[in-house]
Structure 1
Amino acid sequence: MYDIETRQRALALVDQGRSLSSVSKETGISRYALRSWQTRIEPRARPASACCRCGPVPRPPDDPAAYAYLLGLYLGDGCVSRQPSGTYALRIACANAWPGLITACRNAMKGVRPENSVCVVQKAGCVSVAGTSRHWACLFPQHGPGKKHEREINLEPWQQQIVNTHPWAFVRGLVHSDGCRITNWATRPVRGRPKRYEYPRYFFTNKSADIRRLYTDALDRLGVSWKQANAWNVSVARKASVALMDAHIGPKY
């Protein structure tokens, strides 16, 4: 929470004609906060919100399926960063081409932390679905400095239990972030002539060996056949396994 004097000083810079981005860079205050202060400057009283993880008796999130999906999105295209106010921001990058994914991401974030607001910030070619809370670090202990593929990524026992209970939600989040469903084609000789045939295929691409392992472990539990296509890619191409993925995931939308 910022005091009224801090808010007034920041808005005075905006009143000089400065952009929200430049004032944000100078003061360390988010553009979202600056924008909200333009309509209401006095601090709002916020009720204390309990955290399922840092309370006296840690427990799973109230919506474990939403959490499993959000965990998959976070491991793919998400980050948790500490804010100057002491809170944490969870940001998930989503392509503009998939409005359904953006909506699903927002719903999952609200399902996990219904007490906190969620905003969508437009960027070049994508949006950042973001929410601020003091407890994102509790819910995503994998956060840390640097890129995820440059550090060890393992699930806590309580996270693994959620993934084991809701594996399809977890796999859906991973595929929606770093995966795709495509139509492959190949040729083979038929009566001496090349014939083209097409078949659907799922790819999951991530530089982190740990995250790829979490993905393939979940596929193994679900009975989905997969193979390592190359250093960073996991492929699902067998007809029965693709049908199983289609039934629970399908193309992005």
Structure 2
Amino acid sequence: MHDRTLRNRTLRLLEAGLSVGEASRQTGVSLSTIRRWREVPESRSPTARGCARCAPIPLSPHLFPQHGPGKKHERPIVLEPWQREIVSAHPGRFVRGLIHSDGWRGTNRVRRVLPSGVLLDLHVGPKY
């Protein structure tokens, strides 16, 4: 979904005489979306009606401190004090959540010989 500002800007470009293709190149909006915007009045669009799916959801940095600038894989993983308290109370659930959130639902087999010479053979079954 595109916000109303982008829609209005794109429609102004069309009104100024740009082709749908040129407006698409300048705004990054697909040709079919621009054509639909041109044909469907804003009053009939889901955003204008207050569609819950289209409504912006403000994210508080206090609730989601992991969101921030830069690439996620380059940012340090640092838990806030309130998060550390929850993780300390439920470490197993925390680890389970991390495993489930990665999207992998296969099986994993870990085989390692520890420095002590003991063979570590773990079979982690499918995650559900």
TM-score by length of 2: 0.47
Q: Greater CA radius of gyration, 1 or 2?
A: 2
